[in-house]
Chains A and B, each alone.
Chain A
């Protein structure tokens, strides 16, 4: 077999696939064949490469040439120019901002430069559906090392010494957790991978499973050997079809090679996994609810202790870790605890994957060393706020997290540093908000989410979040009362301290942090009936500036409720009684004549 001389690493993560990556692939194969290049150049589907904002993306190797926003119609030209004639095409290269020169190489692009990949080490470099490619990048060598050279105690010590903490949001020492499960009496034990990623805007776990499914299986097998389990479950969100498909393929291939099953590597160790698909309940991301769901019961949390390490699945000792935690294991075993713990800060070791979303230029998936500042993530990697707007806050840790204001942007990323300012690292969502976001509305939005997802078991969470949501809704409608703030604070404290699981315990976080850092916005709503960000519909009015309106009639024609009147070439007027504040008039106006007042 002659080796391919060139590999086109085409991103086939969910983001790029929904941007028609598979059509692009077909076009490439068609064009390559047309030029008789099909035996020289190979198109490889990879998992998510992180730069989702610019998808569909592709990296050409060798050469490290990065192409973005590929379109089917441009493929014939690209194939002819670059692959036949050797001239990389500038049109699809990354341009940092208008007027800059295009940057041909991936390694020179700011978004990628500051990242440090451990959990995502294979991203963009392998075909996730080809087990040989995983093995080619040291895949399963950590499992071989663990099974043939290490005792379970040594493995647990290594993981503990590495300082790895739960990446699902808990932040508990992974090594200690394993130790508890190992030391719990019982001859039947279980391992679970929590891939039920439910935070709005978070997609790191999905991307890991999609781009490198074997890393999960290898991590779980090592964990199973360490605690003495022979069966594992992967509990994956039902809404992640591509992740499910790839994990099934990975399991099948691992079984064929005997990397799952009986007598792995001839050591007598036996381990296999099964996949369970979640049915869409957010609370299943909480470990005891997830276990209840696996057992076929209602997904509701239960009192801890006993912890799952003592009594988990079917009452047996169970160790449950999140996808990203599992993805770190093989590197810790291969490269050692000393190496891993040299990365990060005193109390937060290693790296963390964040899904960077919201009003940021470079939306995508980033992996950074712990200790990097939030500012570096948003401005250096993320390329700053979209459309030149002013940064207001970043919500970290999903609906259970808090909003970090501009003044705290230099906070280093870490479990304890984030806790100190009222937020959490959580599973790694990072939602950037700009000056147009009303922070009361943000708090209301997240609370509406947790309220809806509350399983209903604990009264404070079930009833309390409902009551808080009512108050917040009232405030955004301009009907807030001065005493509302005190009630919100009191209820936050109560719900936080009396809910069984983290869903309820952390639900008030967005309210608490916005009250702490953006109290003036609450006051403006309550005392002045005004929304400073001009987002709350009940408190704003659209008007047309007489000196700017040219009477082009565009707004009147586009208004869905016919609220705008005016003659051609005459000044137009919006009827506030009819206006539904959809914002279309402002969006279509070419003369910047529509203003929002509050």
Chain B
């Protein structure tokens, strides 16, 4: 198989999600809180739901990551959505259905889903 110059682009596109993930480049970042409290209330299912949405959307420039407890255990499962250049938004009491809506509205269209959101921003560190 002899590649043509345009084939390089096709291979790059295939690798884009991987490349972005490693270099931290992306237009949005989804973080699922997976402390003991999160896991106990089903954070793994929430994580899977986000990953499924991500895969179905075919988007390559959205980063997905997990982190520990956010300190508000009674409101788990939680996730933080951060659109590049905007303050992060924390979502609480997540369900698979809420994940679908949040992904569609906030991640894809930039509209905060008010009814599931706890608030904007994060605590200051340091």
A148 to chain B, nearest CB (A): 6
B2 located at the interface, meaning its Cβ lies under 8 Å from any Cβ of chain A in the complex: yes
Residues of B within 8 A of A3 (CB): 17-18, 21, 54-55
Whether the pair B65, A6 counts as a contact (CB closer than 8 A) is: yes
Of residues 340 to 373 in A, which have CB atoms within 8 Å of B's CB atoms?
Answer: none
Do the beta carbons of B36 and A85 come within 8 Å of each other?
yes
Q: Are A7 and B21 in contact (CB under 8 A)?
A: yes
Contact across chains for A140 and B55 when beta carbons are under 8 A apart? no
Distance of A87 Cα from B23 Cα, bound (Å)? 21
Contact B14 A132 (CB under 8 A): yes
Whether the pair A133, B18 counts as a contact (CB closer than 8 A) is yes
- In the complex, the answer to whether A85 meets B68 with C-beta atoms within 8 Å is yes
**What is the CA–CA distance of A256 and B5 in the complex, to the nearest angstrom?**
15
Question: Is the Cβ of B23 less than 8 Å from the Cβ of A135?
Answer: no
Q: Contact: A140 with B22, CB < 8 Å?
A: no
Q: 1/0 contact trace for A253-288 toward B, CB 8 Å?
A: 000111101011110000000000000000000000
On whether A256 and B1 interact (CB within 8 A), knowing A62-B63, A133-B15, the answer reads: yes
User: B4 to A265, Cβ gap below 8 A?
Assistant: yes
Q: How far is the CA of A148 from the CA of B18 in the complex (A)?
A: 28
Distance in angstroms from A256 CB to nearest chain B CB is 7
Task: Give the residue among B8, B17, B18 with the most A Cβ atoms within 10 A.
Answer: B18
Which residues B58-77 have CB closer than 8 A to chain A? Answer: 63-69
Number of A-B pairs, beta carbon distance below 8 Å: 97
Q: Which chain A residue lies CB-closest to B7?
A: A257
Q: Provided the pairs A132-B14, A136-B15, A148-B5 are in contact, do residues A5 and B51 lie with their beta carbons within 8 angstroms?
A: yes
B11 touches A136 (CB 8 A): yes
CB within 8 A of B51: which of A2, A7, A132? A2
Q: Does B16 contact A (CB under 8 A)?
A: yes
Q: How far is the CA of A133 from the CA of B22 in the complex (A)?
A: 11
Chain B proximity of A548: nearest CB distance (Å) = 46
Q: Let me know if A490 is at the binding interface, CB within 8 A.
A: no
Residue in chain B with minimal CB distance to A83: B66
* Complex contact B15–A61 (CB within 8 A): no
Q: Tell me, in angstroms, the Cα distance from A25 to B60 when the chains sit together.
A: 27
- Whether A86 lies near B51 (C-beta < 8 A) is no
Asked whether B18 lies within 8 Å of A86 as measured between CB atoms, the reply is no
B119 CB-CB contact with A under 8 Å: no
B18, A85: Cβ atoms closer than 8 Å? no
Which residues of A in the span 2-37 have a Cβ within 8 Å of any Cβ on B?
2-7, 9
What 0/1 readout, one digit per residue, does chain B (39-67) give for beta carbons within 8 Å of chain A?
10000000100010011000000011111
How many Å from the CB of B16 to the closest CB on chain A?
A: 7
Flag A232-265 by CB within 8 Å of B: 1 or 0 each.
0000000000000000000000001111010111
B22 CB contacts on chain A under 8 angstroms: 7, 9, 61-62, 125
> Would you call B15 and A135 a contact (CB within 8 A)?
yes
A88 to B69, alpha carbons, bound, how many Å? 12
The CA of A135 and the CA of B32, in the complex, are separated in Å by 31
Distance in Å from the Cβ of A170 to the closest Cβ of chain B? 33
**CB of B34 within 8 A of chain A?**
yes
B-facing mask of A31-47, CB < 8 A → 1, else 0?
A: 00000000010000000
User: Which residue of A is nearest B14, CB measured?
Assistant: A132
Chain B residues near A263 (CB-CB < 8 A):
2
Please, what's the 1-or-0 string for A104-139, where 1 marks a CB less than 8 Å from any CB in chain B? 000000000000000000000100000011011111
A63 touches B (CB below 8 Å): yes
A64 touches B33 (CB 8 A): no
Q: How far is the CA of A84 from the CA of B5 in the complex (A)?
A: 42
Contact partner of A86 among B11, B15, B24, B67, CB < 8 A?
B67
Contact B1 A5 (CB under 8 A): no
* List of B residues within 8 angstroms of A589 by Cβ: none
Interchain CB contact under 8 A, A86 and B68: yes
Q: Pick the residue among A4, A137, A259 that contacts B19 (CB under 8 A).
A: A137
Residue of B with least CB distance to A136:
B15
Among A9, A141, A266, which residue has its beta carbon within 8 angstroms of that of B8? A141
B88 proximal to A (CB < 8 A)? no
- The residue of chain B having its C-beta at the shortest distance from the C-beta of A139 within the complex is B8
How many Å lie between the Cα of A264 and that of B39 in the bound state? 52
**Distance (Å) between the CB of B126 and the closest chain A CB?**
11
Q: What is the chain A residue whose CB lies nearest that of B19?
A: A136
Nearest-Cβ distance from residue A218 to partner chain B, whole angstroms: 11
CB distance from B7 to the nearest CB of A (A): 8
Contact partners of A84 in chain B: CB under 8 A: 34, 39
In the bound complex, how far is the Cα of B12 from the Cα of A132, in angstroms?
7
Judge whether B2 and A258 touch: CB under 8 Å: yes
Q: Are A63 and B51 interface neighbours, CB within 8 A?
A: no
Please report the C-alpha to C-alpha distance between residue A263 and residue B2 in the assembled complex, in whole angstroms: 8
The complex places the Cα of A148 from the Cα of B6 at a distance, in Å, of 11
Partner of B3, one of A6, A63, A265: A265
29 A-B pairs whose Cβ atoms sit less than 8 Å apart in the complex: A3-B18, A3-B55, A4-B18, A5-B47, A5-B64, A5-B65, A62-B29, A85-B34, A85-B36, A85-B39, A86-B32, A86-B33, A86-B38, A88-B68, A125-B22, A125-B23, A135-B8, A135-B11, A135-B12, A135-B15, A136-B19, A137-B19, A140-B8, A144-B5, A257-B2, A258-B2, A259-B3, A261-B2, A266-B2
Given contacts A61-B22, A125-B22, A140-B8, 20 further A-B contacts (CB under 8 A): A3-B54, A7-B21, A7-B22, A40-B51, A61-B21, A64-B24, A87-B68, A132-B14, A132-B15, A133-B15, A136-B11, A139-B8, A140-B3, A256-B1, A257-B3, A258-B1, A258-B2, A264-B2, A265-B2, A266-B2
The 8 closest A-B pairs by CB, nearest first: A136-B15, A258-B2, A86-B34, A144-B5, A87-B68, A86-B66, A135-B11, A136-B19
